[in-house]
Structure 1
Amino acid sequence: MARVSVPELVGRRAELAALAACWSTSDIRLVLVEGDAGVGKTRLVRAFARHCGATVLTGGCLQFEADIPYAPFVEALPHLFTDGIGTAAGDRATEYRKVADAVRAAGERVVLVLEDLHWADAATRDLLLFLHRALAATPVLIVVTCRTDEVPAHHPVAALVAELSRSRHTTRIHLPPLDRAGVAALAAGVLGAAPPDELVDTLMTRAEGNPFFTEELLAAGNTVPRTVREIIVTRMARLSAPAQRLARLASVVGRTVPHDLLAALVPPDDLHVAVRDLVDHGQLVIVEPDAYAFRHALIHEALYRELLPGERRQAHAAVARCLTAHPELAMSQTAELAHHWDAAGEAEPALAAAVLAAAGAFDGHAPATAHAHYERALRRWPDVADAASVTGIDHDTLLERAAEAASLAGHNQRAVELTRQRLAALRDPERVAQAYEQLSYQARSVGNWQLARHASAETVRLLPPDSPARLRVESWQMMLDMLGARYLDAVRHAERILPQAREDAEDLVPRNRALTVLGTAHVMLGHVDDGVGFLARHREFGARTGVPRFVGVGYVNTAESLVWADRHTEALALARDGIERANELGFAIYLLPIVGNAVRALAELSRWDEALDTSADPDDPAADPFNWIFVDLPRAEVLLRRGEPAAAAALLSRAGAVLDGQDDAQYGTELAHLRGRLAGAERRHDEGLAAVRAGLEIALSAQDMWLVARLVATGVWLAAEAGDAATADEMLSAGRSHRASLESRGAVALPRTLRAVSLAEAERGRLGKPDPVAWAAVDGGPDRYLTAYARFREAESLLTAKGSRTRAAELLAAAAATAAELSAAPLAALVTALRERARLVVPGSAPVLGLTAREAEIFFLVGQGKTNAEIAAELFISTKTASVHVSNILRKLGVRSRIQAAALAHRQEQS
């Protein structure tokens, strides 16, 4: 019998050596093996595993990724998941650490192989990211295969690959198609003899160097089918009838099929004949410990798609019945049953299993998986006569749970739709009121302030005064005040609610919210130490309760508050820790806000490259667009400062799509500020001022000095650029009045507010008499760009006011150095233009005609016709010293008079 495939690895010597090199170094702990379907990723990894001398744990992701979370880890570590996935007690962080410990304990040196990352569900992606970090310092190498042709830019796995690739402990190995020599060697291995050139040409043309396609074409004989599916179907037709039936049945189970499951599905005589036929003909391979796998995923896919609808339903039903009778054969019985009963068209068992699977996934901190199961249950509910009896819950409860899972997974727009469905059917006033409360939260989470406020008002109107839910409802109104930057009002409410919201209460949400508000609002009101103290208490509370939402909110609000308080290093460390915890606990709704805090901290620390690198788009295309603003806005600020207006405009456009018309005090006003900056950079001053005015209309009704001060500074800058003194004064006046009002009520200006105020005052000076002192007072603090900009303007003011040219040159040199270091092209251009206009000699620059820097400066002043006394006044030196310098200059230049020196200076300036 001719070979179907070549056991030896052909044409991959360099890639195998690269894997071996990764294994021999402690620097690389994860390898991404990438390539198209059929290019040989699995074969390469298996060849490496056979010779690496380590304990090898292997598991593969399933194509039914929405149904079975953690599938590759269940396969690789079956002893750890004997009770099913996602059902163990404790939080997900604890479970993840158990997985890491199990991998470490598997052997002295361990290789963990995870196949088909392109099919990974959200929970698998989270656990992989955790293990990559947790095992970085251990003798464990994680090898992951992924089809690059199935991971477009918006694919959830694309963001994970990008995240993993940024680590210095990760390397990527890309498998290209085989070249002609490789194809010839592969054909020789299959045929047992050197292939004729014509055959190699045909193989190269039809298979394009893909090893799997090449082998299948060779096995197909004289005919060359047009598609891989035709190849597989044609070859399958040559097998025995039992083998064909078994292959189709196995394709319904998945890529890997346990022997015991097949034995329970097929009569023993048929099983042995069929399996032997499939193994001998290379359709199945034996995998440890006691299972079979399709030799390639494409075989599995093609066979499954070849099933007729009726055959497919019957096969799924057979598998579902078998797993019902033998639950020990399932990796996750409820999840697999939900999938198989649903595919079989059996509504009642599909509904029951979907509800159970959803609950298990939610308890296991896999909300995205839970949401997928709940959606299946909602779809099947109308098909079941007595669905409530089958599931043990009513339809409203199903909708409520589905909305909560969707929200926690970061799909609040879907949660809004589900809660609105609840409201359309509910009649009990108290349940209606509670549904409105949830709708308000979900609406705010997608940036819909109008709906959030309306739903909150409806909650208050409908809830009975003596309802136990009253405190929770009031706590959400308090949260809306805080989120709307009405900090004084929020603190007043929180101080009343906190004593009532005891930690031993049945509902812990009010206490969670009260601590959040007291911490965040106090920081924004300038009472930083008090605020940070409350935030620390909140994080301790979240850790004690283990509630994912509480923990997530703690990371978001604490990191953000630390940024506003100029404690950027603390904020960055906390945000990075929060990113890891978000993956562990599965609260996707908070991941991007936490990432956004890291981006903002890095941006304000002037670590712009890291800020842009850290900020990735959401890894879930179904995630709420509102989540994008947390990374988009700080990214846009960096891009504007770098002189990339088109890229910044694209981000601002995406933010505007969710913020426009929503009166969002924090992010809407930040968008207005950035739109003003973008318009100013493009000399569209009127449009920029219109954007700032729109933002101020919102900010002036809020209780946040910083929001107003930032907008005023941008508005006055635009007015100065446009020469509009009246508008500058109008905005300054509005800002002063707003600040005075808040200070009279006990608020204190944050340092960033004072920086913005001093910037606005200095910008106003550009419309009158030059004031270098005002610009000297502008200190950017941690913002090195603002400091550099202020030094540029200080130099400009000095030169305009006929001040010290030496000092101006020093200031410009400092500004230029910072602009160059930050790649702040617009600022660098401003500095260069001013220096050239003023014909300043840069300190430390190349000598001019053999003169010292001081002599060169005096030389150009002589060129301007200045007397010794005038030179002395400008440079703050004595007239005698100026005279000595002029004499030395004339001597060095070999000229006899100031007139000759002036002419030479003029020619030098023109050169």
Structure 2
Amino acid sequence: MSPQFVGRARELGVLGDALTRARSGASTTVLVGGEAGVGKTRLMKEFAERAGDALVLVGGCLELGTEGLPFAPFTAVLRRLVREMGRDGVAALVPGGTTRGLARLLPEFGEPDKDGAEARARLFEQVLGLLERLAEERTVVLVVEDAHWADRSTRDLLSFLVRYQRTGARLLIVVTYRTDELHRNHPLRPLLAELGRVEWVTRTELRRLTRREVVKLSASIMEHAPSPAEIDLVYARSEGNPLFVEALLSEAGGGDAMPESLRDLLLAGVERLPEETQELLRVASAGGQRIEHDLLAAVSGLDESALSRALRPAVAGNVLVVDGEGYAFRHALIREALHDDLLPGEHTRLHTRYAEALERDLSILPAPRGAIELAHHWHAAHDSAQALVSAWGAAAAARKSTAYDEQLRMLSRVLELWDQVPGAAARIGVDRVQVLRQTSTVAHLAGEYERSIALAGAGLAEVDPEADPIMAAVLLRQRGLTRYDLGRPNYLDDLRRAAALVPEEPTKLRAQVLETLSRMLHRPESWPEKIATAQLAMEISHAVGDGPTEAHALITLAWARCRFTDMETHIEAFARARSVAGRHGAYNAVMRCAISETDALEGAGLHERAAQVARDGVAEAERYGLARTSGTFLSINLAEPLVSLGRWDEALQVVERALELSPPPPYRASLQGFAADIALARGDLDRAETLLADSRVVLARGSFRDQTVLPHLRREIELLRARGDVAGAVEAAARGLDELDLSSSSRYLWPVLVSFAELEAPFTGTLRELAAGLAVEGALQEAYRRTFAALTSGGAGSAEAWGAAVAAWTGLGQPYSEARCLVGAARAALAAGDRQGAATGLGRARELAAGLAAAPLLGQIDALARRAGIGGSGDEAGGQPLGLTARELEVLREVTRGHSNKEIAQALFISVKTVSVHVSNILAKLGVATRGEAAATAHRLRLFDGDTA
């Protein structure tokens, strides 16, 4: 290896800039590509040495045959941290204080927590949380090398870390990969394309060295200036690849003899070594890019003295490098050349020796690597029987690490080898249908939904439901779940068939099938069946001691029975479900309970209680390591009641914090929806448009339920109306009315009908007919019904209808809705000649709207007051000129001085965002369009004549 680092100034600059950004708390990732031998590892080494006080953690993906080992780079990083900090030191940094998720990577952390879809999420959360906690002390650089060998599980975790980097965490992620390995169907290609679209991700590619750089590199290696002839030869043959330059110079010995092929070039250095060393290197090549010392000793059959004697020339010759407790080939191309050079008989014998060594002592390698390597070696040795048995064992080991893709690959291998191995069922203890069932389940967990359905179908084709109703029911339940996730029809048919097949005696399976069926019944006409099925599932699961299923059934029951009345009874039901889930460590059920309870409380109009339960749920999600999944969903359920309560700035903080965690797109759309509601109410229409545009993209990608689709429709109508495009709003409402599913939830239909009614469109009669047949469940829906009635009433009863609507919103503590209805009531009072009543109502509406900084509504109130000639709500409101608050007068004073929002914020010790809200309110109250007009009005009215500042 050259003692001098040549070239790469541009690439080091890219990495240095990224490190600077990371130090400042900006989310930062760099993807570094380059062909084999171009110097990616050397670049990372040089960068690490120049990273100052940053903690540089390096983990490489390991090739095993044609596949990588699951989570290999992260296991390596974690093992290093444990060596340096101790197990307890690392555990103290894990969010939530529990390391059972990390136990899936290192056995030092004890037994893993229970399997299930949430286990993988917890593992991912804990890895990222650990890195972020480390970054609180000093900047952390995570380097993942050789990502072209990454298995699916490693790619998934890597994607998670890159996407969910928290703003403010001083974390830089660097990923290296071989560009020449990325054929058209390589699984890393779509991930690189996907990550390349993330705004904080930078891609760079190492080019080959220029001729001048080859001269410099050659001089460093040869310790004298090379002749032009030597450079011509080296540059022509190496084409600027640093590895080939080094190998050519090493082999040429200053003369003209050059290897004829790349293979010869890579093996030339090996062939100069002693024969016993060459033999050991051939043995090592079958073990992969990196091999543990104990395993190499076991396979080679050499004692410690002989092993050391054979190893030393390989290390001295820079073919092998010491790597922790083992050895790694200096470059993967050398290992590949050695392995490819093995004769067929040698290949089989070597892999057999590896398999036999691992059979004798699987603990030589950490789990699940040992079991997976064992399966690899038996497969490479062409021993079908042993390959089948070891693949079955490797699948079980991969399951403990939530490496679902690796587990799926091993189970698929079992199925591939099944017909080649006589007595396969006896060898692994299960029959083919059971393997198909398990493979279908794992395919579902791995996101291979189509494959899961196909595997379940294949299992069903081999099962006689009359002879084995239980297995048929299991396969039907799995296919039904997967069809539901894919949005495919017939999922209920599968689940109902499964429920009919399971014997009626109480069993865990019967409880699970019934609970699944009850949870998937969503249509109103299915509500009686939903409740009866959930009740039966709850009773059976309780009887057989299946706590998680009992908790889920209790949640379904509590939710299905909730009609937003008698809420204390429902709250007790949720508390019971939470208690059962907690006792059994069913994290998924605990989170689902919090989500369902907050949704029920908000639907009943109990906003304060909904907010508190949601806030507690967010904290629980963080403790469980589910902040970016369940935690962000619960942030949706926290933002909604805060919006209802008029605590808009607090709601925006919740939304911003949740969005910083980069939640899944549907969650992001819901969070942005509440931010859009506030932007619409405060008159920030451009912001509202941006937020709704993002939501449109998400909604266009799939089908969503009422709670997502109907609020979005309402916001689109309100945005058009706010921009003055009443005709466009009416047209959009008419289209929405034609497409409206009348069996949708009344909770989400009522707000839409109110928005439609505010348009005073020609279809008001149709709206009245719809409203007449729409259910009213709870106080919140009653408030919407009263508002709708007031909007569509008119005549003598209008004032009374508006009064009823105002009273409903006042009772619920929703200031914005109350203020809007107060304006409607004031108009009705003026029409009836009640000026005093109108003035009182407008005064109260102004007070509420000002507290919310709802500039458009303030403008409506003042305009109505001016037209009616009513005092007390316009120019003299609150004892301040023009209805300005004391703070707004301070802001206006600064505006008249020509100060920017930033300068005003500094002068008044408030945020720039708060200044912007105050300026919008001032413009609305003064009835002007610009800051200049506002200043001119203040000068004209001589508001600040006494100000000598």
TM-score of the two chains, using structure 2 as the length reference: 0.65
Q: How far apart are 1:446 and its partner, in Å?
A: 3.2
> For residues 226 and 792 of structure 1, what CA distance do their matches in structure 2 show?
84
Q: Which amino acid aligns with 2:743?
A: S
Cα distance change, pair 369–534 in 1 and its aligned pair in 2 (3 A): farther
CA distance in 2 between counterparts of 1:310 and 1:793 reads 89
1:516 Cα deviation after fit: 1.3
Q: CA deviation at 1:160?
A: 0.9
| Distance change in 2, residues 1:503/1:215 (3 Å) | farther
Deviation of 1:805 (Å): 6.3
In the TM superposition, what is the alpha-carbon distance from 1:686 to its structure 2 partner? 7.1
Q: Deviations over 1:167-200 (max 9, x none)?
A: 4243467999699999887655433346789999
Q: What amino acid maps onto 1:322 in structure 2?
A: A
1:192 to 189, 211, 223: 223
Q: Hey, what does 1:426 align to over in structure 2?
A: 463
Deviations 1:242-285 (A, max 9, x none): 65664454344233212232233336499667634432332211
Amino acid at match of 1:578: A
The residue aligned with 1:688 is 732
Judging changes above 3 Å, is the alpha-carbon distance between structure 1 residues 784 and 453 closer, same or farther for their aligned structure 2 residues? farther
After TM superposition, give the deviation of residue 846 of structure 1 in Å. Answer: 0.7
Counterpart-to-counterpart distance in 2, 1:638 and 1:313 = 63
Residue 553 of structure 2: aligned partner: 514
> For the structure 1 residues 19 and 831, does the alpha-carbon distance in structure 2 shift closer, same or farther, using more than 3 Å as the test?
closer
The separation in 2 between residues aligned to 1:397 and 1:504, in whole angstroms, is 26
Q: 1:328 aligns with which of 348, 363, 380?
A: 363
Structure 1 residues 158 and 650, CA gap change in structure 2 (3 angstroms): same
Moved more, 758-767 or 353-362: 758-767
Q: 2:100 corresponds to which letter in structure 1?
A: E
Q: How does 1:302-451 map to 2 (within 5 A)?
A: 315-332=350-367, 333-363=370-400, 367=404, 369-409=406-446, 411-429=448-466, 430-431=469-470, 432-448=472-488, 450-451=489-490
Q: Which amino acid aligns with 2:936?
A: P
Aligned to 1:144: 142
What letter matches 1:773 in structure 2? V
The 3 A distance-change label for structure 1 pair 534 and 212 is: farther
CA shift, 1:426, in A, is: 1.7
Contact 1:32 1:171 in 2 (8 A): yes
What is the alpha-carbon distance in structure 1 between the residues aligned to residue 262 and residue 632 of structure 2? 43
Alignment of 1:255 with 2:260, yes or no, is: no
Cross-structure match for 1:478: 518
Equivalent pair of 1:59/1:75 in contact (CA under 8 Å): no
Number of equivalenced pairs: 783
Partner of 2:652: helix, strand, or coil? coil
Q: Which residue of 2 aligns with 1:606?
A: 652
The 5-angstrom pairing of residues 422-571 of structure 1 reads 422-429=459-466, 430-431=469-470, 432-448=472-488, 450-465=489-504, 468=507, 470-481=510-521, 483-484=522-523, 489=528, 492-493=531-532, 496-497=535-536, 500-501=539-540, 503=542, 505-508=544-547, 510-521=549-560, 525=564, 529-547=568-586, 549-551=588-590, 553-554=592-593, 556-557=595-596, 566=607, 567-568=610-611, 571=614
Match of 1:709 in 2: 750
- Answering whether residue 824 of structure 2 is matched by residue 774 of structure 1, we say yes
Residue 146 and residue 366 in structure 1: after superposition, are their counterparts in 2 closer, same or farther (change >3 A)?
Answer: closer
CA–CA distance in structure 2, aligned partners of residues 674 and 310 of structure 1: 71
- 8 A contact 2:62–2:289 mirrored in 1: yes
8 Å Cα contact 2:388-2:414 kept in structure 1: yes
Distance 1:77 1:849 in 2: 64
Offset at residue 392 of structure 1 (A) = 0.7
For 1:712 and 1:226, locate their aligned partners in 2 and report how far apart those are by CA, in whole Å: 80
3-state SS of the aligned residue for 2:494? helix
Q: Residue type matched to 2:287 in 1?
A: V
Q: Is the CA contact 1:35–1:41 (under 8 Å) kept in the aligned structure 2? A: no
Give the TM-score, by structure 1 length: 0.67
Choose from 61, 70, 76 the match for 1:72. Answer: 76
Letter in 1 for 2:480: S
Which aligned pairs between 1:190-269 and structure 2 lie closer than 5 A? 190-193=221-224, 215=246, 219=250, 232=266, 246-247=280-281, 249-266=283-300, 268=302
Task: Report the residue type matching 1:613 in the other structure.
Answer: E
Paired residues of 1:122 and 1:369 also in contact (CA < 8 A) = no
Aligned pairs for 1:676-825 (under 5 A) are 685=729, 688-689=732-733, 692-693=736-737, 696-697=740-741, 700-702=742-744, 704-716=745-757, 720=759, 724-726=761-763, 728-731=764-767, 733-735=769-771, 737-740=773-776, 743=777, 748-750=778-780, 753=781, 773-774=823-824, 790-791=857-858, 794=861, 806=875
Matched letter for residue 606 of structure 1? L
8 Å Cα contact 1:520/1:557 also seen in 2: yes
On the 8 A contact 1:74/1:331 being kept in 2, the answer is no
Unpaired stretches in structure 1, ≥5 consecutive residues = 83-90, 105-120, 585-590, 618-627, 857-911
CA contact (8 A) 2:853 2:917 kept: no
Compared CA separation, residues 198 and 390, structure 1 to 2 (3 A) = same
Distance 1:635 1:800, change over 3 A: same
- Cα gap change, 1:32/1:756 in structure 2, threshold over 3 Å: closer, same or farther? same
Whichever residue aligns with residue 275 of structure 1, its letter is L
After superposition, the CA RMSD in angstroms is 6.2
Percent identity of equivalent pairs: 19
Residue equivalent to 1:285: 321
Indicate if the aligned counterparts of 2:395 and 2:407 stay in contact, CA closer than 8 A: yes
Moved more, 57-66 or 203-212: 203-212
2:718 and 2:729 in contact (8 A); partners too: no
Contact 1:490/1:521 (<8 A) preserved:
no
- The 1:57/1:592 distance shift into structure 2, 3 A limit, reads closer
Letter of the structure 2 residue corresponding to residue 280 of structure 1: A
The question of whether the paired residues in 1 share the 8 Å contact of 2:60 and 2:145 is answered with no
Contact 2:375-2:394 within 8 A present in 1 as well: yes
State the distance in 2 between where 1:731 and 1:135 align. Answer: 58
Q: 2:45: which partner in 1?
A: 43
Does the Cα contact within 8 Å between 2:142 and 2:173 map onto a contact in 1?
no
Output one character per residue of 1:567-621: Cα deviation in whole Å (capped at 9) or x when no partner: 446525634642663569xxxxxx746544435645861245444433345xxxx
Q: Is the 8 A contact 2:594 2:614 kept in 1?
A: no
**Structure 2 CA distance, aligned partners of 1:207 and 1:425?**
58
Q: Secondary structure at the match of 1:254?
A: coil
Distance 2:430 2:850 in 1: 55
- The answer to whether the aligner puts 1:62 opposite 2:66 as a matched pair is no
CA contact (8 A) 1:16 1:48 kept: no
User: Could you tell me how far apart the structure 2 residues matched to 1:791 and 1:191 are?
Assistant: 81
Which AA in structure 1 matches 2:940? L
Change (3 A) 1:473 1:30: closer
Distance 1:513 1:499, change over 3 A: closer
Distance 1:385 1:62 in 2: 33
Q: CA deviation at 1:334?
A: 1.9
Structure 1 window deviating more from structure 2 (255-264 vs 490-499): it is: 490-499
Distance in 1 between the 2:313 and 2:331 partners? 17
Cα offset for 1:435?
Answer: 3.0
For the Cα contact (< 8 Å) 2:234–2:248, is it kept in 1?
A: yes
